[in-house]
Chains A and B, each alone.
Chain A
């Protein structure tokens, strides 16, 4: 099973809302990633977790708060977002955090901030 699942598929939220995105994998992977993809642009890395510890934060605003409660689960907590945060949020995982590790992506959560 090489599947990464993400919920919800779509999310609409107001600027004062708090919501969470969820990502799950059961491949035994120890590295998990959040990417943001604006329309017609390539994905951009936001956060990387390795062995449930935050390894990379690409200077993401604090209104995005990642969490890795266990090795299979990755959350992205959203609070006080702006309309420009509307995008496709992609989760990925890899066996380890390494230079050439293949990353497996989920289908993404399409977020609209009103």
Chain B
């Protein structure tokens, strides 16, 4: 399975935008880029996913590089509630051994300062 690389930690101030990077240089054409986050003392929750085009939803935006070797999760105005571990995950839709699996990497710990 293609791997992702994320910074161990990032910090932000409340109400400022946050850009969380993810590198996935060995991504294949059938890999979707998914983001989940895990708030303290909670299970992970889905944030957003995309394939090639940039994506927006009520939680965040996902910017995908033209060569798809990297992506950035954008939180437009960070709140204290956004403090969490953010996981960038590749999911191969072509089948194989990764079918149905969600393989978490180490993720980025986001700290939001008041």
Contact = CB atoms under 8 A, between A and B. Distances in A.
B99 A92 contact: no
B45 interface: yes
A81 interface: no
Interface string B93-114: 1110011111111110000000
A90 B91 contact: no
Nearest to B85: A42
Given A99-B92, A99-B95, A100-B93, A45 B101 contact: yes
A100 B104 CA distance: 14
Contacts of B44: 43, 90, 92, 103, 105
For chain B, the bracket of interface size reads 20 to 34
Contacts of A106: 43
Task: Classify the interface of chain B: helix, strand, loop or mixed.
Answer: loop
A48 B43 contact: no
B42 A107 contact: yes
A42 B100 contact: no
A93 to B, nearest CB: 11
A66 interface: no
A107 to B, nearest CB: 5
B68 interface: no
Interface in A36-83: 42-45, 48, 50, 55-56
Given A45-B101, A99-B92, 4 more contacts: A56-B101, A99-B91, A99-B94, A103-B44
Interface of A: 4, 31, 33, 42-45, 48, 50, 55-56, 90-92, 97-108
25 contacts: A33-B102, A42-B104, A43-B38, A43-B104, A45-B103, A48-B100, A48-B101, A50-B100, A56-B101, A91-B43, A92-B44, A92-B102, A97-B99, A98-B100, A99-B91, A99-B95, A99-B100, A100-B32, A100-B91, A103-B44, A104-B46, A105-B45, A107-B41, A108-B42, A108-B43
